[in-house]
Amino acid sequence: MSFALTPERQREAEEIFSRYPNKLAACIPLLHLCQEQHGWVSSEVIDFVADRCEVTTAHVQGVVTFYSLFNQQPVGRHQIWVCRTLSCALGGAGEILRHCEKRLGIRAGETTPDGRVTLRTAECLAACGQGPVMQVDKTYHEHLTIEQVDRILDGLLAGDEK
Ligand code: FES
């Protein structure tokens, strides 16, 4: 089945194209817009973006596989990235990650069986002075402790039940 944007997102796509000198340059923001709607970048989304940006599907595939923020398979409604790079690792990121795995009942790279949360590790979230750091959806959480992680996960899971 082919992919199509909702009318509202189609208007956003037109606004995106208007910001760039050519269609190729809009490839990344258009991919983000499609992923926001679809949850991940399926082959249908790749076809759609390639067609709109007038590039090959191989070009779009190359972009999607280069940037880790593009989901190449279905993910949970919420995504958590725990930074595991040096500054955060020295600050206890390993313990933070193990705690998230225990609380969610999954390993890094997996999604909870109810489809609510995907847990991942990240390579440097560019907040090295504030580690350990994790990103929950679009929000950064810094100077993490186990107690803070519990509060964050409690809030995330409670909010998702509404
Ligand atoms: S090392 Fe974790 S944000 Fe850079």
Whether 51 and 17 share a structural domain:
yes
Cα 93 to ligand 1 centre (Å):
10
Q: Residues 27, 95: one domain? A: no
Q: Would 149 be classed as within a structural domain?
A: yes
Report how far ligand 1's centroid is from the alpha carbon of 123 (Å): 7
Q: Which amino acid does the sequence have at 12?
A: E
Which of 123, 124, 141 maximizes ligand 1 atoms within 8 Å of its Cβ, making it the mutation to test the pocket?
124
pLDDT at 158: 86
CA 122 to centroid of ligand 1, rounded, Å:
9
Per the structure, the count of domains in the chain is 2
Residue-wise pLDDT for 41-78, tens only, equals: 999 999 999 999 999 999 999 999 999 889 999 999 99
Same domain, 112 and 44: no
Among 18, 8, 16, which residue's Cα sits nearest to residue 49? 16
- 162 pLDDT exceeds 80? no
Domain that holds residue 13: 7-66
Q: Determine, yes or no, domain membership for 71.
A: no
Task: State mean pLDDT over 130-148.
Answer: 95
Give tens-digit pLDDT for 83-118: 999 999 999 999 999 999 999 999 999 999 999 999
Question: For residue 51, what is the domain's CATH number?
Answer: 1.10.10.1590
